[in-house]
Amino acid sequence: MEGSGAAGHSDAVLAENHQERDLETMSGNESRAKVVFLCGGQGAQYFQMGKELFGANAAFRACLLRGEEIFHGVAGESLLDVIFDPCRRKSDSFDQLEYTHPAIFLIQYALAQALAERGLTPDLVVGCSLGEFAAAAISGLAEFEDALVAVMEQADRIVRHCDEAGMTAILDGVELFDAEPALFADCELAAVNYARHFVISASRPVLARVEKALQARNALHQRLPVRYGFHSSWIALPDSARAGLALKPAQARVPIWSSAAMAPVSRFDADHGWRVLRSPIRFAETLQSIPNHAGHVYVDLSPSGTLSAFARNVLGVQSQRAIFAAMSPYGNDAQVFDAMLGGVLASEGRRFPEPSC
């Protein structure tokens, strides 16, 4: 395993010391709000995501092309041809894990590079589920190519070893899950995004039964475009496959917060990789664990912009003007991107350079 032995221990200690200094700064009384990037996972994807920005932003385009080269070298086919398939609409279900896993990772990493080119870099990165791999690469905890290949290999292992299942998001109090054991029989709690938004994993027949009951109650819910029951016992990998969930260690430039650990992490070993896949997402508790969490500026890198909506519900009205989505399925990518930069500028009183041609 990478990072074992004396050299690995030394690297881990250095990383922990580095992050401790960063956390002390986060807790300080500096006048400038910290910039927090949010990275999401499965369920945020859709066909054509990033297409307009690919044409309009050189840094974003260069990063996608770099990822395309890596993907093609491993898989022997084009990832961008799948994402930008002209025969597919945004509303079509995009749920083939061998494509969606690397696509979600790559879009978020490319957004971070496009923001860096405009002078906006994070003081902290929060990762949710698959988003922890993007967060690791953005923070420097892992190298970009290593993380992308690891995401591809993870998707391959899940497809080969795990039974298909599904996930459903429910807009109701999370206490409903424990209060109604008959309704949620054979379901597992996969995520708590805020007090009135949780996600369950189960087999498809069980999800259909639950959704029928919820519909009869007029309870809002949505099946996610995911073929597997992440963050539950539906993700079952042999030990040999789990060993490959580690990322090669690198020196993190900024802290990374894990929504599986609900705390900062300084290494991405196989145990943590397994926790990211199997443990429930605790997004609300993770945000609330960040020092001075209500006073920061949050930038959601997930393609759907869903984490920004979750963050508004977690952080409350005092933070509404400091939470932004870098991309949305409902608008032109370039316009959304520029509006987000303008919003961050207004929140922080900063100026950003014009994009390079």
Token look-up 């260690």 returns 249
Beta strands in the chain (DSSP E): 35-39, 124-127, 166-170, 188-194, 197-202, 221-223, 256-258, 263-265, 281-282, 297-300, 323-325
Q: What are phi and psi of 176, to 5 degrees?
A: -60, -35
C-alpha of 54 from chain center = 20
Are residues 35 and 120 in contact, defined by beta-carbon separation less than 8 angstroms?
yes
C-alpha of 308 from chain center = 12
Q: Nearest CA to 81 among 104, 93, 99?
A: 99
C-alpha of 217 from chain center = 31
Report the DSSP pairing between strands 221-223 and 166-170.
antiparallel
CA atoms of 186 and 17, how far apart (whole Å): 43
Number of residues that make up the chain:
357
CA atoms of 68 and 48, how far apart (whole Å): 15
Does 289 qualify as catalytic in the annotation? no
CA atoms of 33 and 223, how far apart (whole Å): 36
- Please tell me which residue in 4, 10, 129, 259 is annotated as part of the active site: 129
Q: Which residues are catalytic?
A: 129
